[in-house]
Structure 1
Amino acid sequence: MMEAVFSLLVGLFFAAGIYLMLSKAIVRILLGIVVFGNAVNLLIFAAGRIMREVPPVMAPDMMQLTGQTANPLPQALILTAIVISFSFFAFLLVLTFRTYQEVGTDDTVKLRVAEPEGEVLPPMGY
């Protein structure tokens, strides 16, 4: 039952992240990247068998597992992914703020400085 709820939540997070990343505002794109990263973390967590009753720890005298236990690998991967995604978010936030200081807008259409209006575009096909 719990896996079904997490599956729906993962789908909702992916949909919200993609919706935000398709925006024209850089801040919304940045928030979409954060939501998308959280969706991936939740997906890994849900794939690693969610169990509250059994901890992912073996007793020191056990040589092999005798019953069901939670898988500790997805939990360790998620912990690492949270740290990496937070540092990536901090980098993108500083980059966005610096871009806003230089250009004065966060609209991606207005940030097309490399393609000034009125010039002939290069050929688009072969």
Structure 2
Amino acid sequence: MEVVFAALVGLFFAAAIYLMLSKFSIRIMLGIAILGNAVNLLLFTAGRITPEVPPIIPQGASTLDLAAANPLPQALILTAIVISFSFLAFLLVLTYRAYQDLKTDNTGEMLAAEPDERPLPPLGY
């Protein structure tokens, strides 16, 4: 089962790198989202997929005798999901604002375009 997940992680990383090398900002954002999912799946695979017992040690048992699930990768994945979602939301707002101002999502045209001289509207605080 780990071989299948390792191949899937490799496929996710390849697709993410391909999309992030694009010149369109929407594709770059999708590549970043896929990269976050690839890292999450990598952490999940590294934490052993085999069905193990919960990490509860019975009275009198040695910790070396038990094959328990590792809770650390699960905690890392939950943290990575929250961080990647907030980062993706920030990139979405940033890309939308750039598209509003420059009327394109092509990064080459964004570099060549002159921004409007009008002041930015208030944020509405």
TM bucket, shorter chain: 0.7 to 0.9
Whether contact under 8 Å (2:19, 2:27) holds in the other structure is yes
Structure-2 residue corresponding to 1:26: 25
1:96 counterpart = 2:89:
no
Of Structure 1 and Structure 2, the greater helix share is in 2
Instruction: Identify unmatched segments of 5+ residues in structure 1.
Output: 116-126
Structure-1 residue corresponding to 2:74: 75
Aligned residues: 113
Question: Aligned partner of 1:95: which letter?
Answer: L
Structure-1 residue corresponding to 2:55: 57
Task: Quote how far apart the aligned CAs of 1:62 are.
Answer: 6.0
Task: Quote how far apart the aligned CAs of 1:56 are.
Answer: 3.4
Determine helix, strand or coil for the equivalent of 2:111.
Answer: coil
Write out the 4+ residue segments of structure 1 that deviate beyond 3 Å after TM superposition.
59-64
2:95, 2:67 → 1: CA distance? 46
Identity of aligned residues (%): 64
Whether contact under 8 Å (2:55, 2:70) holds in the other structure is no
Instruction: Identify unmatched segments of 5+ residues in structure 2.
Output: 115-125
Whether contact under 8 Å (2:102, 2:113) holds in the other structure is no
Q: TM-score, normalised by structure 2?
A: 0.83
Structure-2 residue corresponding to 1:124: none
1:10 counterpart = 2:9:
yes
Instruction: Provide the alpha-carbon RMSD of the alignment.
Output: 1.8
